[in-house]
Amino acid sequence: MDKKTVEYARHLDEKDVLAHLREEFYLLEDKIYMDGNSLGLLSKRSEKVLLDLLHSWKSLGIDGWTEGRHPWFYLSESVGEKMAPLVGGQSNEVIATGSTTTNLHQLVATFYQPSGERTKILADELNFPSDIYALQSQLKLKGYDPEEHLVRVKSRDGRFLKEADIVDAMTDEVALIVLPSVLYRSGQVLDMAYLTQEAKKRGIPIGFDLCHSIGAIEHRLHEQDVDFAFWCTYKYLNGGPGSVGGLFVHEKHHGVLPGITGWFGSDKAVQFDMSHTMTPAQDASAFQIGTPHVLSLAPVIGALELFEEATIQRIREKSLRLTEYFLTLIDVELKGYGFTIGNPMDETRGGHILLEHQEAARICKALKAEGVIPDFRAPNGVRLAPVALYNTFEDVWKTVQILKQIVDEKRYERFENKRGVVA
């Protein structure tokens, strides 16, 4: 069967063992949603749990903290336990709390312990800006100049990082390493096991930002001896805008007083003793700072039910097949159209495709006008994420056909080549 035909795409969809899960989501009417790597769609289960928790507030009042189907007092721990399989952590190593950046501040405040010549933090120049802002802030709080003490590994081509370059930068001056698991532009998956191993040889704590990988690829944080990790839940995890984030702290670090302490990091047995001497929890829950955001945690609970049913292994398998099909069609249909593929061609790619084009901002606007929801990333990137839980192979086929028409007929010229306020 000819791979260029819609019949072939439908044939692939017929064989898809996860196809039934598409019905669990509220799909946008007459749209092809290719932006799940930025904000996932609402699932019916997420909606139900949110309504359930609203009802517990309505019917129980303050007793909702300890009663009902999802008692609020233990919610961060119970959601963390459900997240743990997605990052390869033990149940006591994961907590659902905070946001990406507040969790990064917490973890750096804990693990960045400059001493002697070891004063620098190692990151990379392709990392998401929010992480860099947090690292700069933490350095300033310790009295260090970020220009000198934040080392950013250079990319050789502006798209990818070489693990060898990162290892070369692990000098005796480095006190902490913070890296992304997947690069947010190119989708490159870093070799976390190798980088962690090399950091351990040098006695440097290492942590990873999993925002662009959790829910899309498999992780083995405990097994690989990663010190810490943090992530959001609104991308591939479909937890909703501003949903509560998560963090992992390896059990070997449990019992360490967190760098930023707060009431909900207490041992729950003594939390309401109201003592001014904190007794921290002896697991990852110690790294909580404030009261759980109950209504923002609710959709995550429903979303995680779908991951438990689908399994991250099958999700990753389908994701790779979707992006492989995307790349095949791009090669066949869009050759000579001015596009450059900016993501890895092998299995070191994450869950999205990056197409680079000098008219990228206009093309993204034209795609939206034609019913395809993409994501623009400066300076010239069109990100397209076929999400395994709700996108189809036919979605991929249609997206490529629409892209071809937009460039063929220069439909993008109707738009300004400038990003919107939210790209």
Structure tokens at 55: 């009802």
Tens of pLDDT, residues 357-410: 999 999 999 999 999 999 999 999 999 999 999 999 999 999 999 999 999 999
Tens of pLDDT, residues 315-340: 999 999 999 999 999 999 999 999 99
Tens of pLDDT, residues 146-199: 999 999 999 999 999 999 999 999 999 999 999 999 999 999 999 999 999 999
Q: How far apart are the first and last CA of the chain?
A: 38
pLDDT reading at 423 higher than 80: no
Alpha helices in 173-293 (DSSP H): 192-201, 221-224
Structure tokens at 320: 């790779």
Residues of each annotated binding site for pyridoxal 5'-phosphate: 100-101, 128-131, 209, 212, 234, 263, 291
Break the chain into its structural domains and give their ranges.
Answer: 6-30+312-414, 48-310
pLDDT reading at 35 higher than 90: yes
pLDDT reading at 3 higher than 90: no
- Cα separation, 236 vs 259, in Å, equals 29
Q: What is the pLDDT of residue 217?
A: 97
Residue 229 phi, psi (nearest 5): -155, 165
> What is the arithmetic mean of pLDDT over 91-109?
98
Q: What is the pLDDT of residue 82?
A: 98
Give the residue carrying structure tokens 């995890």: 237
Q: Residue 88 in 3-state DSSP? A: coil
DSSP state of 64: G
Contact of 261 with 275, CB cutoff 8 Å: no
Contact of 247 with 98, CB cutoff 8 Å: yes
Model confidence band, residue 417 (pLDDT cutoffs 50, 70, 90) = confident
DSSP state of 154: P
Q: What is the pLDDT of residue 305?
A: 98
Give the CA distances from residue 24 to residues 48, 107, 307, 310, 317, in Å, rounded to whole numbers and listed in that order: 11, 35, 12, 12, 20
What's the topology of domain 48-310? Aspartate Aminotransferase; domain 2 (3.40.640)
With CA atoms as reference, report the closest residue to 92 among 260, 211, 253: 253
Q: For strand 228-231 and strand 246-249, is the pairing parallel, antiparallel, or unpaired?
A: antiparallel
Dmax over CA atoms of the chain, in Å, equals 71
Model confidence band, residue 306 (pLDDT cutoffs 50, 70, 90) = very high
Considering the chain, what is the average pLDDT of its residues?
97
Name every residue whose Cβ is closer than 8 Å to that of residue 78 and which is 6 or more positions away in sequence. Answer: 70
With CA atoms as reference, report the closest residue to 89 among 234, 301, 246, 211: 246
Q: What is the pLDDT of residue 420?
A: 80
Model confidence band, residue 422 (pLDDT cutoffs 50, 70, 90) = confident
- Cα separation, 406 vs 379, in Å, equals 20
Amino acid type, 398: K
With CA atoms as reference, report the closest residue to 109 among 230, 196, 214: 230
Residues of each annotated binding site: 100-101, 128-131, 209, 212, 234, 263, 291
Q: What is the pLDDT of residue 416?
A: 87
Respond yes or no on whether the N-terminal peptide bond of residue 205 is cis (omega within 30° of 0): no
| Alpha carbon of residue 35 to chain centroid | 13
Tens of pLDDT, residues 190-226: 999 999 999 999 999 999 999 999 999 999 999 999 9
Give the CA distances from residue 422 to residues 170, 370, 375, in Å, rounded to whole numbers and listed in that order: 36, 19, 9
Would you report the helix, strand and coil content of the chain in percent, each value rounded to 5? 45, 15, 40
Structure tokens at 283: 């697991």
Contact of 340 with 366, CB cutoff 8 Å: no
- Cα separation, 236 vs 254, in Å, equals 28
Q: Counting Cβ atoms within 10 Å, is residue 168 exposed (0-12), middle (13-18) or buried (19+)? A: exposed
CATH of domain 6-30+312-414: 3.90.1150.10
Q: What is the pLDDT of residue 297?
A: 98
Q: What is the pLDDT of residue 419?
A: 80
Q: Residue 359 in 3-state DSSP? A: coil
Helix pair angle (100-111, 129-141), 10° resolution: 40
- Which of 22-26, 53-57, 86-90, 273-277 is predicted least confidently? 273-277
Q: What angle do CA 412, 418, 422 make, to 5 degrees?
A: 110
Q: What is the pLDDT of residue 1?
A: 78
Q: Residue 297 in 3-state DSSP? A: helix
Q: For strand 120-124 and strand 381-384, is the pairing parallel, antiparallel, or unpaired?
A: unpaired
